[in-house]
């Protein structure tokens, strides 16, 4: 049976805007993926725990609050603590270009800023899965 | 983590990653899951399996979240399987039940897993029954299965759950909806959620009237045999000292069974019907009484021996389905396809009739089976 890609879409931190996250969730769904949406105001601990319980291939996080430099690396840290090294983690939201290299250094595989075509995100996920079918 | 690192020991030790990966292997029907499932077999059979079903938007996820909270307060470890539909066109799915339950994400005593139906009809996913067995063997005291939002005939949940909670809400339709056959018949415990909304009392009355009428009509129901068995036990207890002791020697939970599910007076105070509990899941109102009724139902099942007979019937059904599935996969093989095509041609040419063709097919399959067993 063909492997279905499972993606956790999460909104870490305190901003309450999830229009973008929902658009991405819907696009991934229409690309044949199973999307677990966790809703707003998630702590990094909740996100990592949900990623483990749901056995996802991808964690996609969206932040508009400006707290990305803290929250994204924290999620990577917790994943590492739990020994999870086979999950692709991507980020998105209002993120200044200058911050992107640092986030990538922390292990975020890609950062998609406003205006990114959803097709690019889907393609990136399909090409960069850490677990192979 | 590699799939090969998944072991029964890790699942039993409460390793969420191993449990989660095993359920993924079940979902894609990976043959390597079988060794682990076989090793887990000895540890199963202890969990209370509770089904939560009802129409879309009835509040099943919010209710499940509150049930988890209440059960945790009673010191029980809880697992949740939440099922949402897959797209029939892309195979994709939005699994959104978890949104309501995320406050339990970091509680080690709770495991939540979302499953997509992946083409399976009936309100569940094909992986559900094996996933329940895994979570049972992993040591969760309660396994709650939240079905997809159901319409009128998705009744698969009765084949897995010990106790089915049917969630209704005000405002869905007239009283004819309550007397239709199908989903409305499968509840062991009925819950009218959003009970702060107009019309909740009416829904309660309609459900009770539906249940009472079923009894008065002598219809086959899920609950009447259970209540009769329970009354018989109660009767024994009243008649003979020995039987009273037998009841007293059952645990307090089982004794509770005799008090909890009580006849509910509407027009027919003496009829025993399942409990109808009003809840407002959003605020938590009525959750305690609902959990009490769910547990009372389990206790009644245990006290009467119905827990075992219900599980036996469900397992027999599942075995039959499993066997049918094996036959279907057998028919997918190339040689089988050839045989099928040949037989179809004979029927089309009026050489043999349809029923002779079926018999010939059955014989052919038995021959293959014999060849396989002697080989």
**Are B268 and B215 in a shared domain?**
yes
Q: Residue A83: which CATH number?
A: 3.40.50.280
Average predicted confidence (pLDDT) for chain B? 87
Closest residue of chain A to B110, computed from CA coordinates: A53
**Are B73 and B4 in a shared domain?**
no
**pLDDT tens by residue, B167-180:** 999 988 765 666 56
Q: Do A55 and B86 touch (CB under 8 A)?
A: no
Closest residue of chain B to A55, computed from CA coordinates: B20
Comparing B275 with B372, the larger pLDDT belongs to B275
> Would you say residue A133 lies in a domain?
no
**Are B90 and B7 in a shared domain?**
no
The beta-carbon neighbor of A29 closest among B94, B99, B114 is B94
User: Between A and B, how many CB-CB pairs are < 8 A?
Assistant: 92
Is the pLDDT assigned to residue B267 strictly greater than 80? no
**pLDDT tens by residue, A77-132:** 999 999 999 999 999 999 999 999 999 999 999 999 999 999 999 999 999 999 86
**Are B206 and B188 in a shared domain?**
yes
In angstroms, what separates the C-alpha of B208 from chain A's closest C-alpha?
Answer: 37
**Are B237 and B341 in a shared domain?**
no
Which range is least confidently modeled, B187-196, B240-249, B285-294? B240-249
The whole-angstrom separation of Cα A60 and Cα A124 is 12
Domain that holds residue A20: 6-128
**Are B142 and B25 in a shared domain?**
no
Domain that holds residue B244: 44-304
> Which of the four pLDDT bands, split at 50, 70 and 90, describes residue B372?
confident
**Are B37 and B72 in a shared domain?**
no
> Would you say residue B183 lies in a domain?
yes
A positions 92-111 inside 8 Å of B (CB): none
> Would you say residue A44 lies in a domain?
yes
Is the pLDDT assigned to residue B83 strictly greater than 90? yes
Q: Do B92 and A49 touch (CB under 8 A)?
A: no
Q: Are B114 and B61 in contact (CB under 8 A)?
A: no
Comparing B269 with B349, the larger pLDDT belongs to B349
> Would you say residue B316 lies in a domain?
no
Buried (b) or exposed (e) across B108-127, using 16+ Cβ within 10 A? Answer: ebbbbbbbbbbebebbbbbb
**Are B171 and B251 in a shared domain?**
yes
> Would you say residue B312 lies in a domain?
no
Mean pLDDT of B212-227: 89
> Would you say residue B318 lies in a domain?
no
Closest residue of chain A to B19, computed from CA coordinates: A53
Instruction: List beta partners, residue B20.
Output: none
Mean pLDDT of B313-322: 93
The whole-angstrom separation of Cα B217 and Cα B206 is 16
> Would you say residue B203 lies in a domain?
yes
Closest residue of chain A to B88, computed from CA coordinates: A32
**Are B19 and B112 in a shared domain?**
no
**Which residues of B make CB contacts under 8 Å with A?**
1, 16-17, 20-21, 23-24, 27-29, 86-87, 90-96, 98-99, 102, 105-106, 111-114, 116, 118
> Would you say residue B320 lies in a domain?
no
Supply angle C-alpha B214, B167, B95, rounded to 5: 140
Strands (E), B196-348: 276-278
**Are B20 and B109 in a shared domain?**
no
Number of domains in chain A: 1
> Would you say residue B322 lies in a domain?
no
The whole-angstrom separation of Cα B249 and Cα B255 is 9
Instruction: Report the pLDDT value the prediction gives residue B269, as an integer from 0 to 100.
Output: 66
**pLDDT tens by residue, B14-48:** 999 999 999 999 999 999 999 999 999 999 999 99
**Are B37 and B90 in a shared domain?**
no
Decide if A45 touches B, using CB distance below 8 A: yes
* Residue B112 exposure: Cα atoms within 13 Å on the Cβ side: 29
Mean pLDDT of B226-234: 89
Beta strands B48-53 and B110-116: pairing type?
A: unpaired
In angstroms, what separates the C-alpha of B96 from chain A's closest C-alpha?
Answer: 5
> Would you say residue B319 lies in a domain?
no
Model ipTM over 0.95? no
Instruction: Report the pLDDT value the prediction gives residue B258, as an integer from 0 to 100.
Output: 40
Number of domains in chain B: 3
> Would you say residue A1 lies in a domain?
no
Q: Which of B61, B88, B105, B126 to mutate to test the interface with A (most CBs of A within 10 A)?
A: B105
**Are B69 and B183 in a shared domain?**
yes
Q: Residue B74: which CATH number?
A: 3.40.50.300
Is the pLDDT assigned to residue B254 strictly greater than 50? no
Q: Do A86 and B1 touch (CB under 8 A)?
A: yes
Q: How many angstroms separate the most distant Cα atoms in chain A?
A: 43
């Amino acid at each position: 049976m063909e492997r279905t890609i499972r993606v956790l879409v999460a909104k870490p931190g305190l901003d309450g805007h999830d229009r973008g996250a929902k658009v991405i969730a819907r696009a991934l769904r229409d690309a044949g993926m199973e999307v677990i949406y966790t809703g707003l105001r998630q702590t990094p601990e909740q996100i990592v725990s949900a990623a483990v319980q749901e056995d996802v291939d991808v964690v996609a996080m969206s932040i508009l609050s400006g707290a990305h430099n803290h929250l994204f690396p924290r999620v990577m840290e917790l994943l590492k603590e739990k020994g999870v090294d086979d999950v692709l983690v991507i980020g998105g939201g209002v993120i200044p270009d200058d911050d992107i290299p640092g986030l990538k250094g922390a292990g975020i595989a890609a950062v998609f800023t406003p205006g990114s075509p959803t097709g690019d995100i889907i393609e990136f996920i399909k090409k960069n899965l850490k677990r192979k079918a | 983590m590699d799939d090969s690192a998944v072991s029964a020991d890790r699942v039993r030790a409460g390793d969420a990653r191993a449990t989660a990966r095993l359920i993924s292997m079940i979902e894609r029907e990976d043959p390597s899951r079988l060794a682990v499932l076989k090793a887990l077999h000895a540890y199963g059979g202890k969990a209370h399996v509770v089904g939560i079903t009802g129409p879309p938007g009835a509040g099943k996820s919010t209710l499940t979240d509150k049930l988890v909270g209440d059960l945790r307060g009673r010191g029980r470890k809880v697992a949740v399987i939440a099922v949402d539909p897959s797209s029939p066109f892309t195979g994709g799915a939005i699994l959104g039940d978890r949104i309501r339950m995320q406050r339990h994400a970091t509680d080690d005593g709770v495991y939540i897993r979302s499953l997509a139906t992946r083409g399976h009809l009936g309100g569940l996913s094909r992986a559900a029954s094996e996933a329940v067995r895994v979570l049972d063997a992993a040591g969760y005291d309660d396994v709650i299965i939240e079905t997809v939002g159901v319409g009128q005939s998705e009744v698969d949940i009765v084949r897995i759950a010990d106790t089915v909670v049917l969630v209704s809400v005000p405002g869905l339709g007239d009283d004819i909806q309550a007397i239709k056959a199908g989903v409305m018949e499968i509840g062991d415990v009925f819950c009218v959620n959003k009970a702060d909304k107009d019309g909740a009392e009416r829904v309660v009355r309609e459900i009770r009237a539906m249940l009472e009428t079923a009894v008065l009509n002598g219809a086959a129901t899920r609950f009447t045999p259970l209540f009769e068995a329970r009354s018989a036990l109660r009767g024994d207890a009243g008649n003979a000292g020995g039987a009273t002791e037998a009841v007293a020697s059952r645990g307090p939970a089982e004794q509770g069974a005799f008090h909890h599910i009580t006849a509910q007076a509407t027009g027919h105070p003496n009829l025993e019907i399942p409990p109808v509990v009003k809840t407002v899941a959003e605020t938590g109102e009525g959750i305690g009484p609902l959990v009490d009724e769910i547990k009372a139902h389990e206790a009644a099942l245990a006290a009467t021996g119905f827990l075992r007979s219900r599980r036996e019937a469900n397992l027999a059904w599942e075995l039959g389905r499993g066997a049918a599935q094996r036959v279907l996969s057998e028919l997918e093989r190339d040689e089988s396809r050839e045989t099928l095509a040949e037989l179809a041609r004979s029927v089309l040419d009026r050489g043999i009739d349809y029923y002779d063709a079926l018999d010939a097919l059955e014989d052919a399959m038995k021959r293959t089976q014999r060849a396989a067993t002697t080989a």
